[in-house]
Amino acid sequence: MSMKVHTRQVDGVTILDLSGRITLGEGSITIRDAVRDVLAKGSSKILLNLGDVNYIDSSGIGELVSAFTTVKNSGGELKLLNLTKKVHDLLQITKLYTVFDVKDDEASAIAAFTK
Amino acid sequence: MADSTKSRAEMTLGSTLESVDLVERTAEEWAQGTGFDEDTVSHISIAAREAAVNAVLHGNAYDTKKHITASFERTADSLIIRLTDEGAGLDPDKIPDPLAPENILRGSGRGIFLIRAFMDEVGIRQLHPGTELTLIKHRTPEQTGS
C-alpha cells in the first residue's frame, strides 16, 4: 500500500495524518512534498500523525529527520503523534526517539506547541 | 511460499525499486516459513529491504545494465539471505556511525546499521566488482523443532 496524506488544521497546528508505508521512493517523497506545502502556506506548527504507518525503512526515517530539521530551520516546530510499535522501535534503535518530540495523544500534542 | 524444511532459492533482478519490494516480501515469507515470531519477521524483512536498497541504489546506482542477486537459504539452524550487486564496492570501514552526534540528524546512512541491529551475523564481501552482503538469523531450539 502506498502512502497517503490527509491534512487538517486544529488550533493553528497543521496535522498530517499519514497512512501506509514510508519507504524509499514514493512514501519518502510524499512526506517531503507535504511538509514543504505546509511551510509554503505559512504554517510552521506541524504534527505528523503516524498512527496508520505500518512500515518504515531507513529512507523513511531519514525523511522524518529531514522534515524535522527543515521545519526547525524555518523557525517552526514538528512533533510526532501515535507511533506504531515498529516505528517506535526503529526510532529507539537509531537514538532518534529523544530527538523528536513524540506524543501519544492529539490534544496534548497540540497543547504542547508554542503559543 | 517457502516450506519449513531446509531449502534454497535464488533470483536475479533488475536494479529497480520493484526489485527492492520483491526482496522484502520474499524475505518476509521465508522468515515466516522458518517460524520466527512476528517481531523477528519484521526485523528480517527490514534488514533484507535495506540490503536490497544498498545493492540497487548505492551499488548499482539504478543502472539498468546491472543486476542484483538475492538468495534465501534455510539451514538446520539459520535463515541466510545474500544480496549481491555489480557496483564499485562497499568499504565497511568507511560507513559513518549514524549514532555519532555529528551524524544523528543526517537524512541518510542508517541502512547498514539497521541490518546489523536486526540480524545475528552480517558479512560484507568485496566481489571486484560488486559487493555481497550476507545476513544470518539463527533459529531458536523451538523454531528448529529440536
pLDDT by residue for chain A (115 residues), tens only, comes to 678 999 999 999 999 999 999 999 877 889 999 999 999 999 999 999 999 999 999 999 999 999 999 999 999 999 999 999 999 999 999 999 999 999 999 999 999 998 7
The domain segmentation of chain B, as residue ranges, is: 9-144
| B128 grid coordinates | 571486484
User: Domains in chain A: how many in total?
Assistant: 1
A70-73: list long-range contacts, CB under 8 Å, 24+ apart.
A70/A35, A70/A36, A70/A39, A71/A35, A71/A39, A71/A44, A71/A46
Q: Is A57 on the interface with B (CB under 8 A)?
A: yes
Mutation target among A57, A68, A70, A91 for the B interface, most CBs of B within 10 A: A57
- CATH code: domain of residue A84: 3.30.750.24
pTM of the entire structure? Answer: 0.92
Pairing outcome for strands A101-103 and A77-81: parallel
pLDDT by residue for chain B (146 residues), tens only, comes to 544 557 999 999 999 999 999 999 999 999 999 999 999 999 999 999 999 999 999 999 999 999 999 999 999 999 999 999 999 998 888 899 999 999 999 999 999 999 999 999 999 999 989 999 999 999 987 776 55
Q: Residues B22, B14, B87, CA angle at the centre, nearest 5°?
A: 115
Question: What ipTM was estimated for this complex?
Answer: 0.90
Inter-chain contact B50–A57, Cβ cutoff 8 Å?
yes
Q: What is the side-by-side order of every strand in the sheet holding B131-138?
A: B7-14, B67-74, B78-84, B131-138, B121-126
Residue ranges making up the domain that contains A36: 4-111
Q: What is the CATH number of domain B9-144?
A: 3.30.565.10
B57 contacts in A (CB within 8 Å)?
A: 24
Nearest CB to A58; choose among B17, B104, B110: B110
